[in-house]
Amino acid sequence: MTIAIDAGNTFVKIAVFQSDIILYSERFRSGDFLGKISGLLKQYGEVTDIIIASVADVFEKDLEELQKMVKVHILGTLTVLPFKNRYATPGTLGADRVALVSAACREYPGQNVLVIDSGTCITYDFLNAEGEYLGGAISPGIQMRYKALHTFTARLPLIDSTRLDDFIGNSTASSISSGVLNGVVNEIDGVIDQYKERFEHLTVILTGGDLDFLSKQLKSSIFANSNFLLKGLNYILELNKNQ
């Protein structure tokens, strides 16, 4: 058994794998990192390896304690990957994006794949049919856009909503929601159309915290997969167990 851990900007996401099958998954805030993982190691006594991808700070003391219990792999620049990285600055490519592209490589070999991760940021990552990662884009996520409108204006309230009844807002709150949510939906549909114009037979994967809302709003045909990143991490772990 293995455990894949994605320590993101807001939440830690984990999954316990038996080969490539997810036995258990959970999302929690980062404050109880070591306690959660220790509990899973006790519950699933056959775990031999853990892989961690982090775009946030995972406390060194937690990692030191974890390494006493199980073999820990940290996704980094020396990690063996299943794709050819054509990114101009590969050292700056986030661990979360690396994992998503790895999942695309495993799940959709020989295809042009656009992976969209809708979390704190919205990331777009493109893998071509030759197994080459070309790059993508990063834009603000839904909550970041709400916070920006509130922070950089004098009177706009802070909204927290994924409800879009009509694109014509009839109050300040509904106007903000329309601007943010309608803007995000049209952005994603527009980006997908750009890729479709350049690459034939495009497969689009949507994942991330705002998956439920966006999957119902997008006009483009997509595959929704809430555990895509964790599956990518588990695949990377398979390639690196003996390294």
Is 17 annotated for ligand binding? no
Catalytic residue among 20, 57, 62, 96: 96
Other Cβ atoms less than 10 A from the Cβ of 163: the count is 8
DSSP string, 79-107: S--SSEE--SSGGGS-HHHHHHHHHHHHH
Cα 200 versus chain centre, distance? 24
Is 193 annotated for ligand binding? no
CA distance 140 to 179: 13
Which 3 state secondary structure label does DSSP give 234? helix
Q: Which is nearest to 188 in space by CA: 221, 162, 164?
A: 221
Is 91 annotated for ligand binding? no
Tokens read off for 217: 């709003």
Is 87 annotated for ligand binding? yes
Is 57 annotated for ligand binding? no
Q: Locate tokens 């970041």: which residue?
A: 144
Is 120 annotated for ligand binding? yes
Please say whether the beta carbons of 166 and 75 come within 8 A. Answer: no
Is 31 annotated for ligand binding? no
Is 169 annotated for ligand binding? no
Q: Does residue 96 have an active-site annotation?
A: yes
Is 8 annotated for ligand binding? yes
Catalytic sites, residue numbers: 96
Annotated binding-site positions for K(+)? 117
Annotated binding-site positions? 6-13, 87, 94-97, 117, 120, 172
Annotated binding-site positions for substrate? 87, 94-97, 172
